Amino acid sequence: MLSPAGKPYDTLEEVIGIRESKGSLKEYGITYRQVDLLPGDKFDLEGIKNAINERTKLVTIQRSKGYQTRKSFSVKEIAELIKFLKDVKPRLKVMVDNCYGEFTDVCEPSEFGADMTVGSLIKNPGGGLAPIGGYIVGTKECIENIAYRLTSPGLGREVGASLDTLKSFYQGLFLSPTVSASALKGAIFAAGIYEKLGFKCVPGFKGERNDIIQAVTFGDPKKLIAFCEAIQAASPIDSFVNPEPWDMPGYDSQVIMAAGTFVSGASIELSADGPLREPYAAYFQGGITWPHVKIGILNTVQALKNKGLIDIK
Ligand SMILES: *Cc1c(COP(=O)(O)O)cnc(C)c1O
């Protein structure tokens, strides 16, 4: 398994076995290599080519930045990378982790040769209604293989527990483009405000957007914590709760998470989090409705001002 875009999202490190853990892919004998990005977040094509050998079967490309301050890749960049990979080794299977990217562009990686495109239903494509789950879109061969592994050999897609969730899945998917648009608008608004306040934002206010995540680099744990507290305080659920940094499972440093959400863990709902490590960046995303994102962001600015952490004339 090869990651040509640097390290994947934190919780996947233990899934793959980059950090030792029980039940990892490593335990099943699956080995992993990664090729880090070049300066400017460019793919290291030479390095990628050299890393592909006769044992390389799967390439996994993560579209969004996760807890990194790199940019998120556009579908166009991913499409070009897929073409390059298939030229180097036509039989490679390419999987795109599309989390947070869905409906932020007019096309998706599945249209450009990705054998599998996967994502989470408690993010964009669940539209805020899906209570749990993920999706996998791909070639017939891959989907069949996955179905047999996921349910039972011989049964595949003929069976599987849906536990009364299907209506929410379909209704959520139906709403998802509009919900994602609200989240995107909110992210642009946040970047606009925080850039004016002098903080580095990724993407910038006018920057290209390929997912709904907005990173605001605070460079100071106090500001990061105050930001997350204020997002929590503006939430529809548990607004009275104060989030605190803690040693969450799956992460290698303390993490603070603000998520007063209807669906536990849903980051298509207004939410913010960040690891307590340099550069102390808050990763902010979601908001089912644009007015709610606006209220949330304005609340963070007020809280930072009240605490004397920012200067507003
Ligand atoms: C959230 C996320 C995941 C995991 O999705 P879950 O629904 O929480 O399992 C994987 N990869 C990336 C890039 C993510 O952002």
pLDDT attached to residue 26: 97
Which residue CA neighbors atom 7 of ligand 1 most closely? 120
CA 136 to chain centre: 15
Q: Whole-number mean pLDDT of the chain?
A: 95
- Give the distance (Å) from ligand 1 centre to CA of residue 175: 20
Q: Across residues 108-136, what is the average pLDDT? A: 97
pLDDT attached to residue 302: 98
Pocket test for ligand 1, best of 7, 9, 18, 212 (most atoms within 8 A of CB): 9
- Whether 190 lines ligand 1, by a CB cut-off of 6 Å, is no
Ligand 1 atom closest to 8 (CA): 13
Pocket test for ligand 1, best of 97, 102, 213 (most atoms within 8 A of CB): 97
Supply 131's token pair.
């209570």
- Give the distance (Å) from ligand 1 centre to CA of residue 309: 32
Pocket test for ligand 1, best of 7, 12, 71, 120 (most atoms within 8 A of CB): 120
Q: What are phi and psi of 30, to 5 degrees?
A: -90, 120
- SS3 string, 174-223, reads HHHHHHHHHHHHHHHHHHHHHHHCCCEEECCCCCCCCCCCEEEECCCHHH
More confident of the two residues 302 and 66:
302
Q: What are phi and psi of 8, to 5 degrees?
A: -80, 175
Report the C-alpha gap between 91 and 31 in whole angstroms: 18
Q: SS3 for 142?
A: helix
Out of 27-41, 67-81, 225-239, which region has the weakest mean confidence (pLDDT)? 67-81
- Give the distance (Å) from ligand 1 centre to CA of residue 107: 20
pLDDT exceeds cutoff 90 at 250: no
pLDDT attached to residue 262: 97
pLDDT attached to residue 31: 97
pLDDT exceeds cutoff 80 at 137: yes
Q: Across residues 251-278, what is the average pLDDT? A: 94
pLDDT exceeds cutoff 90 at 222: yes
| Cβ atoms < 10 Å from Cβ of 157 | 12
Q: Across residues 133-152, what is the average pLDDT? A: 95
Angle at 120 between CA 116 and CA 121, to 5 degrees: 120
pLDDT attached to residue 68: 78
- Whether 148 lines ligand 1, by a CB cut-off of 6 Å, is no
- Give the distance (Å) from ligand 1 centre to CA of residue 214: 16
Assign 178 a pLDDT band (cuts: 50, 70, 90): very high
Ligand 1 atom closest to 121 (CA): 7
pLDDT exceeds cutoff 80 at 313: no
pLDDT attached to residue 71: 86
pLDDT attached to residue 249: 85
Placement of tokens 């179905």 in the chain: 147
Report the C-alpha gap between 16 and 9 in whole angstroms: 11
Report the C-alpha gap between 51 and 145 in whole angstroms: 26
Q: Across residues 17-22, what is the average pLDDT? A: 93
pLDDT attached to residue 130: 97
CA 259 to chain centre: 15
pLDDT attached to residue 9: 86
Q: What is the pTM of this model?
A: 0.93
Supply 133's token pair.
């789950």
Q: Across residues 288-300, what is the average pLDDT? A: 97
Ligand 1 atom closest to 63 (CA): 13
- Whether 97 lines ligand 1, by a CB cut-off of 6 Å, is yes
Assign 66 a pLDDT band (cuts: 50, 70, 90): confident
pLDDT attached to residue 252: 81
Ligand 1 atom closest to 122 (CA): 7
Which residue CA neighbors atom 15 of ligand 1 most closely? 99
Q: Across residues 229-255, what is the average pLDDT? A: 94
Q: How many helices (H) and strands (E) does the chain have?
A: 7, 11
Supply 180's token pair.
């994602």
- Whether 82 lines ligand 1, by a CB cut-off of 6 Å, is no
| Cβ atoms < 10 Å from Cβ of 198 | 8
Give the domains, in start order, of the chain with CATH numbers.
Answer: 2-166 (3.40.640.10), 174-306 (3.90.1150.60)
